[in-house]
């Protein structure tokens, strides 16, 4: 079997280190004679995994005091309603930058008034709106830092007067950031941390406990914080795998090194898209995502779209097809994707151009 260049949008490429360590632990976890699948989540062995994963999240992201890190089930999509359940008294503000933001808005509307402060729907979510006001009486302001489907990204840690809540499913660990600007940061692990099944939530504790509604235990962040993500059985293997990725991040030099690599990879690919006569990028240049690179064929070459996909597959490229709702191409170049894979895609685009332009 030859290893593929994995541009899948999620579940996505993982470091070989994570895959290898997970395979070992599935057979025999740390000399216990048991598979990681077979040990109790309350065993000292697994407690250590959980504690180290939380500690490494805090260390790598420089999470300040007063914040907790929990790993939950249910995916980022469960956070779409857990957030308003825990935070919304009357009103919340949302920035609509794409279909994930739209989904988050839909769920929030079950709990109160949602003010959509701005939307880029007018241009097919190809940019990040910049001029808008956030109501001062909003209970929080929700953003989606990376639009996984249309390939736009927010690179700034916004300064706002209300708690800032961010869905960072597809760009966590991709750049240095100031966690102290946020009330909650959350995301599914399956794009940048590990296999699907675990969701990370970084919560500033003092924003909790302000709503009047009763909150079912499983939905209440305070339950999971006080029980250290062990209120119920957590996704054990997924958290173990996530820990391996976090260790790998640290061994590389942490987030500053990841950011440097991500900038290099993104520049390499966007430069080729801009240079190549066949292809054109779809996101506004200043908002181009470093994680999901979206592009299409120039109008006069539209008929070559499926030929290029076939050509790319023949060269070992996986997952370059655009989202089913969008078409075109999308290369997801998450933290674990080596620059060699980006170079291989660039070579592929150049060779295809030589044949067709």
Ligand X SMILES: *Cc1c(COP(=O)(O)O)cnc(C)c1O
Contact status: 319 vs ligand X (CB under 6 A): no
Whether residue 100 lies in the annotated active site: yes
Name the residue nearer to ligand X (CB basis): 34 or 218. Answer: 218
Is 76 among the residues that bind ligand X (CB under 6 A)?
Answer: yes
Write out the binding residues for ligand X, residues 25-64 only, by CB under 6 A.
Answer: none
Name the segment binding ligand X (CB under 6 A); options: 30-38, 74-82, 89-97, 132-140.
Answer: 74-82
Under rule CB under 6 A, residue 262 binds ligand X? no
Distance separating alpha carbons of residues 172 and 187, to the nearest angstrom: 8
Q: Is 75 in the site for ligand X (CB under 6 A)?
A: yes
- Residues in 102-131 at the binding interface with ligand X, rule: CB under 6 A: none
275's CB contacts (< 8 A; 6+ apart) are none
Nearer to ligand X, 45 or 167 (CB): 167
* The residue to which tokens 């919560």 are assigned: 203
Strands (DSSP E) contained in 311-357 are 317-318, 329-332
Q: Of how many residues is the chain composed?
A: 357
Shorter beta-carbon distance to ligand X: residue 167 or 272: 167
Q: Which of 21, 100, 171, 321 is catalytic?
A: 100
Supply the minimum distance, in Å, between the C-beta of residue 100 and ligand X: 4
Residue 281 binds to ligand X (criterion: CB under 6 A): no
**Active-site hit among 21, 139, 150, 167:** 167
Query: Which of 5, 10, 152, 287 is close enough to bind ligand X by CB under 6 A?
Result: 10
Contacts within 8 Å (CB) and 24+ apart, 249-258: 249/56, 249/60, 249/173, 249/335, 250/56, 250/59, 250/60, 254/60, 255/60, 255/61, 255/173, 255/175, 255/176, 256/176, 258/173, 258/174, 258/175, 258/335
List the one residue from 163, 183, 188, 254 that touches ligand X (CB under 6 A).
Answer: 188
To the nearest whole angstrom, how small is the minimum distance from the Cβ of residue 332 to ligand X? Answer: 10
**Are the C-beta atoms of 278 and 300 separated by less than 8 Å?**
no
Stretch that binds ligand X, among 53-61, 72-80, 207-215, 332-340 (CB under 6 A): 72-80
Catalytic annotation present for 178: no
Q: Report the distance separating Cα 306 and Cα 312, nearest Å.
A: 10
Backbone angles phi, psi at 72, to 5 degrees: -125, 170
Report the residue from 100, 200, 308, 352 that binds ligand X according to the rule CB under 6 A: 100
What are the backbone dihedrals phi and psi of residue 246, each rounded to the nearest 5 degrees, phi first? -60, -40
Judged by CB under 6 A, the residue of 96, 120, 170, 174 near ligand X is 170
**21-27 long-range CB contacts below 8 Å, 24 or more apart?**
21/241, 21/244, 22/195, 22/237, 22/240, 22/241, 22/244, 25/237, 25/240, 26/237
Query: Does residue 152 bind ligand X (CB under 6 A)?
Result: no
User: Measured from the CB of residue 13, what is the shortest distance to ligand X in angstroms?
Assistant: 15
Q: Which residues contact 4 (CB under 8 A, 6 or more apart)?
A: 316, 317, 318
* Smallest distance, ligand X to C-beta of residue 311, A: 27
- 191 is an active site residue: yes
From residue 330 to residue 349, the character string flagging contacts with ligand X as x (rule: CB under 6 A) and all else as - is: --------------------
Q: Using CB under 6 A, count the residues that bind ligand X.
A: 12
Q: Which of 96, 152, 169, 245 binds ligand X (CB under 6 A)?
A: 169
Q: Report in angstroms how near the CB of residue 153 gets to ligand X at its nearest.
A: 10
Indicate which residue of 21, 150, 191, 265 is catalytic: 191
Query: Phi and psi dihedrals of 45, rounded to 5?
Result: -65, -45
Determine, following the binding rule CB under 6 A, whether residue 77 of this chain makes contact with ligand X: yes
CA nearest neighbour of 126 among 353, 328, 333:
328
Contact 97, 147 (CB under 8 A): yes
Kindly state the helix (H) or strand (E) to which residue 201 belongs, with its residue range.
strand 199-204
Secondary structure class of 164 (helix, strand, coil): strand
Report residue 82 as tokens: 């857990």
In the complex, which residues of this chain contact ligand X (CB under 6 A)? 10, 75-77, 100, 144, 148, 167, 169-170, 188, 191
Active centre residues (catalytic): 100, 167, 191
């Amino acid at each position: 079997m030859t290893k593929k260049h994995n541009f899948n949008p999620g579940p996505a490429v993982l470091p070989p280190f994570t895959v290898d360590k997970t395979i070992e632990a599935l057979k025999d976890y740390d000399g216990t004679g048991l598979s990681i699948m077979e040990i109790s989540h309350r065993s000292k062995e697994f407690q250590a995994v959980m504690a180290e994963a939380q500690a490494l999240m805090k260390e790598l992201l420089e999470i300040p005091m007063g914040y907790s890190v929990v790993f939950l089930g249910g995916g980022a999509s469960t956070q779409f309603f857990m957030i308003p359940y825990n935070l919304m008294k009357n009103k919340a503000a949302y920035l609509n930058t794409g279909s994930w933001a739209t989904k988050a808005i839909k769920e929030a509307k079950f709990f109160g008034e949602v003010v959509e402060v701005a939307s880029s729907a007018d241009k097919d979510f190809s940019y990040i709106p910049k001029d808008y006001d956030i109501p001062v009486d909003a209970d929080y302001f929700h953003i989606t830092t990376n639009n996984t489907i249309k390939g736009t990204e927010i690179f700034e840690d916004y300064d706002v007067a209300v708690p800032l809540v961010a869905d960072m499913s597809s760009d966590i660990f991709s750049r240095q950031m100031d966690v102290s600007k946020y009330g909650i940061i959350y995301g599914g692990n399956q794009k940048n941390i590990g296999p699907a099944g675990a969701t990370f939530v970084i919560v500033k504790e003092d924003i909790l406990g302000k709503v009047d509604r009763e909150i079912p235990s499983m939905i209440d962040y305070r339950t999971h914080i006080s029980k250290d993500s062990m209120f119920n059985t957590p996704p054990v293997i997924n958290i173990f795998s996530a820990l391996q990725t976090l260790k790998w991040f640290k061994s590389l030099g942490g987030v500053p090194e990841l950011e440097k690599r991500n900038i290099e990879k993104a520049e390499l690919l966007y430069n080729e898209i801009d240079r190549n006569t066949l292809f054109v990028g779809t996101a506004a240049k200043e908002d181009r995502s470093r994680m999901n690179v979206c592009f299409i064929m120039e109008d006069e070459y539209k008929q070559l779209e499926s030929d290029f996909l076939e050509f790319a597959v023949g060269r070992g490229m996986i997952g370059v097809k655009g989202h089913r709702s969008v078409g075109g191409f999308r290369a997801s170049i998450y933290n674990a994707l080596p620059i060699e894979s980006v170079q291989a895609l660039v070579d592929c685009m150049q060779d295809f151009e030589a044949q067709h332009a």
